[in-house]
Amino acid sequence: MMMRIGLTGGIASGKSTVSGWFRRHGFPVIDADRIARQVVAPGEEGLRRVIKAFGPEVVAADGKLDRARLGAMIFHDSEKRKQLDDLLHPLIRKRMREQMATCEAQGCPVVVLDVPLLFEGPFTSWTDRTIVVYVTPETELSRLMQRDHLSKTEALARIRSQMSLEEKKRRADAVIQNDGSVASTERQLAGLLKQWHLL
């Protein structure tokens, strides 16, 4: 029986550090963000759906999705954001299920589902255990401002558009504190997996 671990975090909590560790240690990782990019690649059904709904101006000169333009259209419009989710989420979930089935067929003992909106979607029913990568609100804000070159107001708007890290922490089976060094984060993760008899 394959164990399915759901991995999530906040918008700048350092989840990619943890999923990178899993990959380097041979754990298969199904990355929802990566799949979300794949389903809107040129020639994909997702891109056709987005063009039909939002118009040809969402395509850049190179034929790829113009993420900045689409983002500007939907960011302050919850109806359009929901419309985009309704178009793409079924495609993303289908591809995730296919990758999980492949892992199971290959006899993988564990698979990691790296999903930013783990608790907002149906994904908790897909997982056996959940891990949240947690940082303090101050750390999350400063990292996001630095990473994406945002003003404090812009960064706070993005953070508030998602479920709070406090709420994710409350729902998770395990929490990895990521305010300190990468080494400290990796030690916590290794300790947790030993506790779960996976290392």
**pLDDT of the residue at 158:** 84
Cα angle 20, 26, 29; round to 5: 55
pLDDT tens profile 84-132? 999 999 999 999 999 999 999 999 999 999 999 999 888 999 999 999 9
Average pLDDT, the chain: 94
Question: Residue 51 — very low, low, confident or very high, per pLDDT cuts 50/70/90?
Answer: very high
Which domains does the chain possess?
1-28+110-199 (3.40.50.300), 33-107 (no CATH)
Q: 134 burial class (0-12, 13-18, 19+ CB within 10 angstroms)?
A: buried
Q: 109 burial class (0-12, 13-18, 19+ CB within 10 angstroms)?
A: exposed
pLDDT tens profile 70-91? 988 887 788 999 999 999 999 9
Asked if residues 12 and 172 have their Cβ atoms less than 8 Å apart, the reply is no
**pLDDT of the residue at 112:** 98
**pLDDT of the residue at 122:** 87
